Amino acid sequence: MSEEFEYLKQLVKERLAAMPPNVSFSIGDYGDFSRDELIKEVEKETEVGKAMIDMQVHFIRQMPKILSKV
């Protein structure tokens, strides 16, 4: 696995860990996952984990653009 992907994994896990513990995300028919379950899914690089990484990377890329317009 590339260094870049490992970096993204770590970044997403840390961002999830910074969220309140009572948050959960439903991701299509994969089901509903608590914060701590999502951290594990990202670590194991499951389809759920990859979907979460994709969502977080989108957020990180878009936020500066949105904030620059506020």
Partner 1 sequence: MIVIRMNHDLQTGDLYAFTVPVIKLAEQKGYTVTILENEEVSETNLRKRIRTRRPSFIFFNGHGSAEALYDAHLKEFINLKSADVFKDTITFTRACDALSKLGREAVKKYGCIAFIGYKKKFFIARANNTTCKPLQDPIIQPILESSNVVANELLKGKTVEEAVFASRKASADQILKLIYSKEPLAVASLQALMYNDMSLDFEGEAESKLR
Closer residue to partner 1, CB minimum distance, 7 or 23: 23
Instruction: Give dist(CA 13, CA 9) in Å, integer.
Output: 6
Least Å from the CB of residue 13 to partner 1: 15
Q: Could you list the residues that contact partner 1 (CB under 8 A)?
A: 19-20, 22-32, 34, 51, 54-56, 58-59, 62, 66-67, 70
As a dihedral over the C-alpha atoms of residue 20, residue 23, residue 36, residue 29, rounded to 10 degrees, the angle is: -160
Two tokens, residue 62: 């878009």
Closer residue to partner 1, CB minimum distance, 3 or 41: 41
